[in-house]
Amino acid sequence: MSILFETDQPFWRKVDQNIKLNEFTQEEFLHYSKKHKEYRRQNFAKKDAIILKFGKEEDDIMCCNVSNFRLEISNHQKLGAGLKLISKTNCFEVFGSIEQWHQDLKKYCIQNNLKTKYTIGKKLGNGSFADVHLLIHKESKQEFAVKIYDKASTKFDLTCVKQELDILRQMDHPFTSQIIEAYESSKYLYLIQEFYKYGSLYEYLLRNEIPEEDAIKTTHKLLEALVSVHSKGVLHRDIKPENILLRKPNLEDIVISDFGLAVYYNEHGKYNHQRAGTPGNIAPEILKDQNYDYKVDVYGLGIVLYQMLTSLHSPFYNQNYQKMLSQNQEGFIDYSQMKCSSQTIDLLTKMLDPDPLTRYTAIQAKLDQVFKKYNRQTIIIKRKKIVQDKTTSSFSPRSDSIIFSPSPKQTPPLIVSSPKNSSQFSKRILGLQLRSKPDERRQFFSPNSFINCGTPKNSSRQQQKTSTHQTRKSIYQGLISQKAAF
């Protein structure tokens, strides 16, 4: 059984309300009936990691969350290929047209036969407890990146791994990285993701200057991704050029990656390691040990836009590390030497506002005048619909909604409802998390850090730079290097 599996709760739970079935994919499978002692046809439905089982009565519906169950393909002499889901003491097995369900559940379940399907290639990065390798599918020859954890390492942090994995599973925007599959052996845990052979925005900026129009277009795409991330109640907390990867040799297809410092929004503004991020790209309120919300990501993206317009120059760059942190904390930026339009400067000042209460949210930034030609959402205004910003904090004067993060100690209730009361069937998989950080990224110790993911270690730093090629690592080095804390 996978070490990621939480507790062996009852496999099936009774759902005492009707369900909005159009949100689920329904299939008929052959399933063994203990009562009749034979395989019988039965209807099942699936949405993400939730499986529904239908009984004879209309309201007889059972549900099961199969996150981190063992996923296997079984074979029956007469029935053919089957799909098997295994928890600690229970097993669910069906036969029939299982191909699509098998493909969908790879994202949420754990498999155990990686080396029969893939060849592990060259190392892309290494760290104290996890390595990133190139992974090649044996049949298709398609390339992936696999993050390999040594489960026996004293620095392996299971709680953090779970949270990062859960967050990655929720990412579904084309401009955010996602988990493809997860495998586990007796010694290692493998997380498979897309391989970005064209590198990062940081590496792109080392070779190219970006015209203002291209920088604005790229920022708009990244804001679309941020809106999606925030809508799921997630803060990224480490938006920077190294964590923006390229699917093509240009900026047409870009991805926000590396959710190792990501956390669920907390209405009190307190998170795992309150100080987290990369010096030079951190929102001032983090360095001031203040409570914070989604707007820290808007600030990080504002710095990225600034760097695109100035060829990687950091507004807070200083060879003296402490001075750089002090300037970053103050948040003063001189725009007088920037060669760009007044509209772009106006956007920057609103994204990089040192006061989080007056800073743009991701939705507000996306609707800025500078993006007018990219925004089709102006139709919403004509239809007189109210656009609610779901990412304002509970302590912001403009807050009209709150997104709560799931507690790491409690399983959120499964809410089901019917078209009769027009509410929605919703579920959230229990939160998990991990991340290893590059030297540039820090988890700064502060009194507000009320939850620890592992034991932070103090580390010295000979050179503290945020924009020189010499101190930057491979884009995959950031996926695996040791956590740092101050």
Residues contributing to the annotated binding site for ATP: 147
Other CB atoms within 10 Å distance of the CB of residue 191: 23
**Contact between residue 483 and residue 455 where contact means Cβ atoms under 8 Å apart:** no
What is the rounded distance in angstroms from the CA atom of residue 161 to the CA atom of residue 432? 6
Q: Cα torsion for 25, 31, 33, 36, to the nearest 10°?
A: 110
Sign of CA dihedral 221, 223, 226, 228: negative
> What is each CA distance from 253 to 139, 198, 199, 217, 314, in whole angstroms?
26, 11, 12, 11, 24
* φ, ψ (nearest 5 deg) of residue 379: -60, -35
- Cβ-based neighbours of 93, under 8 Å, separated by 6 or more: 31, 32, 74, 82, 83, 84, 85
**Contact between residue 185 and residue 112 where contact means Cβ atoms under 8 Å apart:** yes
State the first-to-last Cα distance of the chain, in angstroms, to the nearest integer: 36
**Contact between residue 347 and residue 365 where contact means Cβ atoms under 8 Å apart:** yes
Binding site, by residue number, is 147
What is the rounded distance in angstroms from the CA atom of residue 381 to the CA atom of residue 396? 24
Burial (Cβ within 10 Å: 0-12, 13-18, ≥19) of residue 286 = buried
